Structure 1
Amino acid sequence: MQVELSAGTVEYTDTGGPGPVVVFVHGLLMDGSLWDGPVAELDGLRRVVPTLPLGAHRHPMREDADLSLPGIASLLAEFLERLDLLDVTLVGVDTGGALVQLLMANGASRVSRVILASCDAFDNFPPGLTGKTLFLTGKLSPGLFGLFMQQMRLRPVRRLPIAFGWLTKRGDAATRDWIRPLLSQAAIRRDTVRLLRAAAASPGILLEAAERLPGFDRPALVVWATEDRVMPPEHGKRLTALLPKGKLVEVADSYTLLPLDQPAEFARLIREFLIRPKVGRPPRGT
């Protein structure tokens, strides 16, 4: 499916159905396929998965599109509005979690619950070696950026800590597919360089958002990978402490991208959170 938004065409999948609406938000250099595993486990829910312009999108954005992190967060809010999605559970991992935090900081009127999973937060922006390397390559021209990224065709390069190696234990097939639009389309490389430069220009943006997170008074589940080497585990605890209705679950045997490394467990936590959002004790697994 596709929807025309102010920045351009955004692809998405929507299972439909009357069940609770869950919207999944991916990270940088990823697309909606990140969520295929959990989505397949969550029958009975309406699962909506956009592919946002974060470097693995297939439709170039308009030349005047705002590809800063706040601009893409606004695009996500516009997406919810255009599809008239209400009482939404918003789930974000990696940079997707940063986008969710920006929406939370601004009220997120259509959102009733959030799940933040191993994501950029506080001063960890850009996060880890992967984020710092990408921000550096964003200083290149789109052409040189494309030449640099050609190395990502090789699995040994993709598995390096400066690439996807510390983001997922088991998801190399997905990461290989994510980089194809960037390698094959000059306009996608242009978009990616623009968003990287815009992000690099606002290093304190998540610290500012964190100051407003205590105002988000709806249920929030924080899910963090105990072996995460990119998103510090203590940030999961700090985010939970900021949220009035926050609960923390830690998941073993996973790097940052829980939807790839632990899809069934992550889906179980989502379902339990939706079924029992007001239970006083944390979900099973804490």
Structure 2
Amino acid sequence: MPEIELSAGTIEYTDTRQGAGGTVVLVHGLAFDDSVWDAVVADLREDFRVVVPVLPLGSHRRPMRPSADLSAQGVADLLAEFLDGLDLHEVTLVQNDAGTAQLLPGVRDERIARLVLTSCEALDNYPPGIQGRTLVAASRIPGGLFLLLQSFRVPFLVAMGSSLGGMTAHGIPYERVRRWYRPLLTNRAIRRDLARFLRSTRKDTYLRAAERLRHFDRPALVAWGAEDRMMPPATGRRLAELLPQGRYVEIPGAGTLVPVDNPAALVGELRRFIGESA
């Protein structure tokens, strides 16, 4: 993978470097990497330049510097620095799961032409669901995060509704889970980075971001998983109502991991949204 040196450390990324329809930047969530977007990239790459950074949210393979700000806002600022570093303009920014992209409007949004938020942390839903609350609690107990992560070595435990099984409507092949969680299970510095994110992200982070979203005057799409239990659709509808040019759609047959559960429907909505707002 290509990589770029930023203030927090080295960031790997996918870049299709082609497509006349503009640039789409896809942002993954907590403890996922660029591969969560594989099906979406495969569909969009002929018509758009598609860029997917691997942010330091647990599945990254290059630890960040010890001094890096890895709070949610710090990671959002790193995303803005990434857009600057690649000199990307008029970007369609698409977020899933962790809400880092929604922290840029009103702060570092000069390169964003359109914003797409699929099922993600928002408003007062942080930490989200039993999964989010368990992660945050474990990060505050010495050795707690390491012990919790051992459950991801067991397919049966991963499939439970209180784990990744609760984030998807159709299940996830365990081979993908092994890819996502290998860095956390094998590298103490990666676990340190994730713990810093969990410990330093304040409960009111997304409420404060919501106030800034009220002034985001560019096209915005909120595409929520219709079967999402961790990020309830009611949260998505409230989020869309905040955005001056916001529109809300539900993706059928999808939980939190919309690009995994129903990538075809999501791509259809993305193409329609970009085409209508071009």
* TM-score bracket, shorter-length normalisation: over 0.9
**Within-5 A mapping of 1:66-215:** 66-95=69-98, 98-141=99-142, 143-168=143-168, 169-173=170-174, 174-199=176-201, 202-215=202-215
Q: What letter matches 1:184 in structure 2?
A: T
Q: What letter matches 1:6 in structure 2?
A: S
After superposition, the C-alpha distances for 1:95-141 in whole angstroms (9 at most, x for unaligned) are: 0xx11111013250000001100111111000001100110111133
After superposition, the C-alpha distances for 1:27-53 in whole angstroms (9 at most, x for unaligned) are: 001111110011101121000000000
Give the Å deviation of 1:163.
Answer: 1.6
Q: Distance in 1 between matches of 2:69 and 2:178?
A: 27
Q: Distance in 1 between matches of 2:216 and 2:108?
A: 7
**Within-5 A mapping of 1:2-13:** 2-13=3-14
Q: Is the 8 A contact 2:159 2:171 kept in 1?
A: no
After superposition, the C-alpha distances for 1:44-89 in whole angstroms (9 at most, x for unaligned) are: 1000000000011000000101010110000000000000000000
**Within-5 A mapping of 1:15-34:** 15-19=16-20, 20-34=22-36
Hey, what does 2:55 align to over in structure 1?
52
Q: Distance in 1 between matches of 2:60 and 2:173?
A: 18
Q: SS at the partner of 2:92?
A: strand
Q: Distance in 2 between matches of 1:192 and 1:272?
A: 35
Q: Distance in 2 between matches of 1:54 and 1:192?
A: 6
Give the Å deviation of 1:186.
Answer: 1.1
Give the Å deviation of 1:18.
Answer: 4.8
Label 1:223 to 1:182 Cα distance change in 2 as closer, same or farther (>3 A): same
Flag structure 1 segments of 5+ consecutive residues without an equivalent: 279-286
Q: What letter matches 1:134 in structure 2?
A: L
Q: What letter matches 1:56 in structure 2?
A: S
Q: SS at the partner of 1:166?
A: helix
Hey, what does 1:277 align to over in structure 2?
277
Q: Which moved more, 1:108-117 or 1:163-172?
A: 163-172
Flag structure 2 segments of 5+ consecutive residues without an equivalent: none
Q: Is the 8 A contact 2:32 2:59 kept in 1?
A: yes
Hey, what does 2:217 align to over in structure 1?
217
After superposition, the C-alpha distances for 1:167-215 in whole angstroms (9 at most, x for unaligned) are: 112323322320001101111111111111112xx10111111111111
Q: Distance in 2 between matches of 1:186 and 1:99?
A: 24
Q: Is the 8 A contact 1:133 1:162 kept in 2?
A: no
- Point out 4+ residue stretches in structure 1 off by more than 6 angstroms: none
Q: Distance in 1 between matches of 2:108 and 2:195?
A: 29
Q: SS at the partner of 2:61?
A: coil
Give the Å deviation of 1:162.
Answer: 2.5
Q: Percent identity?
A: 48
Label 1:105 to 1:158 Cα distance change in 2 as closer, same or farther (>3 A): farther
Q: Is the 8 A contact 1:123 1:204 kept in 2?
A: yes
Q: Distance in 2 between matches of 1:124 and 1:161?
A: 18
TM-score, normalised to structure 2, is 0.95
Hey, what does 2:38 align to over in structure 1?
36
CA RMSD of aligned residues (A): 1.3
Q: Distance in 2 between matches of 1:192 and 1:172?
A: 23
Give the Å deviation of 1:145.
Answer: 2.3
